[in-house]
Amino acid sequence: MRNLLALVVVLAAAFLLVGVYVAPNQPELRVWYRDNACVHLDKVSPKICEPIRKADGA
């Protein structure tokens, strides 16, 4: 059970890091994060999607 919980935490951290560091430089990934993930990530912190919005010019 502990391994499963650790896996979920690592996957969530990877999802956030890709959104902050990789997605702003990849147009297709940036659009997907902006349209699908940022809706939910903004509830946690609006700063998470800030690099994606800056890359889009919004």
Would you give per-residue pLDDT tens digits along the chain (58 residues)?
A: 999 999 999 999 999 999 889 999 999 999 999 999 999 999 999 898 999 989 888 6
Give pTM, 2 decimals: 0.77
Contacts with 22 (C-beta within 8 Å, 6 or more apart), sequence order: 29
pLDDT at res. 56: 83
